[in-house]
Amino acid sequence: MAYKNLKHFIDTLESAGELVRIREYVNPHLEITEITDRVSKQYGPALLFENTGYKFPLLINSMGTEKRMAMALGVEKLDDISEQIESLFKTFTSPKNNFLDKLKLLPQLGEVASWMPKQISGKGACQEVIMSDPDITQFPVLTCWPEDGGPFITLPVIQTKDPITGIRNVGLYRMQVFDKVTTGMHWHRHKVSARHFNEYKKLKQRMPVVISLGGDPAYTYCGTAPLPDGVDEFMLAGFIRKKRVELVKCITQDMYVPADADIIIEGYVDPEEDFILEGPFGDHTGYYSLADYYPKFHITAITHRKDAVYPATIVGIPPQEDAWIGKATERIFLAPIKMTMVPEIIDMILPVEGVFHNLVIVKIRKEYPGQALKVMNSLWGAGQMMFTKMMIVVDEHVNIHNQLEVAKYISENTDPFSDFTFSQGPTDVLDHSCSRMAFGGKMGLDATKKLPEEIQSAANYLAVSSSGIDKTQIQSSFPEIKAINDSLLSLGISMVSIAVEKNKRNHIRDLSAQIFQNSNFNKVKVAIFLEHTLEVDDIADAVWRFANNVDPRRDHFVYKDETGNGFNHIAFDGTRKTKEHDGFERDWPNILASDEKTISRIDEIWDKLGLGPFVISPSLKYRKQLYKGGAVVSE
């Protein structure tokens, strides 16, 4: 389904009972974030803020559930797109025995051609209004979190082009607003746009850049899609919406933009110009990404529809709206991965607590020894999968959408001494746990049922059974331990989480060695050490904090059972790393939480928002876990 514009999508959401209009005044500075954070964590509705002090309404959380994400892409369920890709791939790659078989392909070829983007003459609806004095501050740009460096455009569909080939790239990167005609351009070193920038720098030429906001929500999604280099994102949009993207020429730049977008921002980046300090920004990891230097973007024109809506999103501690954008990628790109690279893959998921790049679970059809390791290495070599920090592989009959079932299967089919694999490589720029930026440890876990050639000790694959740990005895022996979650042991899952207050060098290494000498831990395969401020009984938060804070290659400790009465053991240090206790030299970011003033303000006006029963601020829990300092932890 193709949406005519963002208003068409809004009307569709509203007709389905998936949108609430908020007519009460709400400030884009922090307040919209606080409301959206409460709603998104309840998997609540899309929100249209109609009274922000600006003439443009603001749409947020429009893709904040699996249902709305599917609606945005015009399908009943996200797997429909993957199935369409698989069917198309099979049609074009199956053997063609005769001329008639080949003739049968013509309708499909015509259909594919109809999805290709097309440049049209004249002006588009996105150019109904041309600002005589371009001013990005006329839009309700969000300041999301208290320590953010300023307001940020959070859903910009950014186009660049290769200066040699002219091939277009479409991406989605945040843009900090500095004044009415200047923003930052936050593209990471691994992105195609960054490579285009380097080419313009070699040529000593200004780099044209154009941004679209709104229009068909498929455009926004395709800006996030991990397509192979050189594949046009607007072609994917055409395939998804089953209608080509019509493009019109910009007013001041030699580039083309979707005619039906709501807002267009035209401009350039000068590679000869000094970078500007951009950030901090409350990011999708649930932590601040810290200030750094990025190119300046200079605005030369802004155009928009007469009835333009400003689209935005917030990111932060999961779940947020971006989790469902990631879910769409997980489902859509499963078919290409299976059919072109790793055919034994049946399914894969990126759990929301892993914030896309920290954790992936893969289900395979296993046929030979070492196959799980082969799959891991294949995926680590596949585009943006190279950033994956931890990868777990299980067998085909496991329901990987059931987290407890996955955990139990891992527990029953892994030996900490032989089934964990550690390496290193590129990591996401936002991974703050690495000792060196964008380069750190990775972990692969073969949790498939072992073939005879893969077993070193059968004793480590026995059924797990434990009634729990004597917490009083452990905490009296180790007073730095503030809490233990052993609830999974009674479910046959041999893992405990331990909240510890570190106070010396190599504390977790030494503490884990002592703990595994205690008989309480004979049947515990995995111990995860976490911050003492964390509620370790909250498993989702524990996984989120652990996945962010661990460099698995550096922060793991393996212990071989010498008693013959238990399992081999592995411990992970998922605590914050410091120079004093860990020799860690990089700045450590703080977690995200609204300030008390904003929380109180939204509490006061909640009954006027039309959002139903009162929802307590998630930030009240996370404020208790904040470190001292601002975006950067001070001590």
Q: Yes or no: say if 149 and 176 are a contact pair by the CB < 8 Å rule.
A: yes
Report how far residue 176's alpha carbon sits from residue 152's, in angstroms, rounded to the nearest whole number: 4
Place of tokens 């399908």: 75
Q: Which amino acid would we find at residue 607?
A: D
Q: Which of 37, 283, 415, 486 is catalytic?
A: 283
Report how far residue 473's alpha carbon sits from residue 95's, in angstroms, rounded to the nearest whole number: 68
Q: What six digits make up the tokens of 592?
A: 């995200």
Q: Yes or no: say if 185 and 209 are a contact pair by the CB < 8 Å rule.
A: yes
Q: What six digits make up the tokens of 509?
A: 């290494």
Q: Yes or no: say if 188 and 160 are a contact pair by the CB < 8 Å rule.
A: no
Q: What are phi and psi of 519, to 5 degrees?
A: -60, -25
Q: What six digits make up the tokens of 620?
A: 């009240």
List of long-range contacts for 622-630, beta carbons under 8 Å, 24+ apart? 622/317, 622/591, 622/592, 622/593, 623/593, 623/594, 623/596, 624/533, 625/531, 625/533, 625/534, 625/591, 625/593, 626/590, 626/591, 626/593, 627/576, 627/588, 627/590, 627/591, 629/590, 630/147, 630/280, 630/590
The 10 Å Cβ neighbour count of residue 531 is 21
Residue among 387, 329, 334 nearest 358 (CA): 387
Kindly state the helix (H) or strand (E) to which residue 202 belongs, with its residue range.
helix 192-203
Length of the chain: 635
Residue among 501, 464, 469 nearest 487 (CA): 469
Residue 179 among the catalytic residues: no
Report how far residue 301's alpha carbon sits from residue 285's, in angstroms, rounded to the nearest whole number: 33
Q: Which amino acid would we find at residue 339?
A: M
End-to-end CA distance of the chain: 52
Q: Yes or no: say if 428 and 387 are a contact pair by the CB < 8 Å rule.
A: yes
As a whole number of angstroms, the longest Cα–Cα distance in the chain is 81
Q: What six digits make up the tokens of 247?
A: 């493009």
Q: DSSP code of 245?
A: P
For the packed helices 596-605 and 31-40, what is the interaxial angle rounded to 10 degrees? Answer: 70
Report how far residue 404's alpha carbon sits from residue 402's, in angstroms, rounded to the nearest whole number: 6
Q: Yes or no: say if 361 and 406 are a contact pair by the CB < 8 Å rule.
A: yes
Report how far residue 204's alpha carbon sits from residue 468's, in angstroms, rounded to the nearest whole number: 66
Residue among 446, 444, 491 nearest 467 (CA): 491
Q: Which residues are catalytic?
A: 283
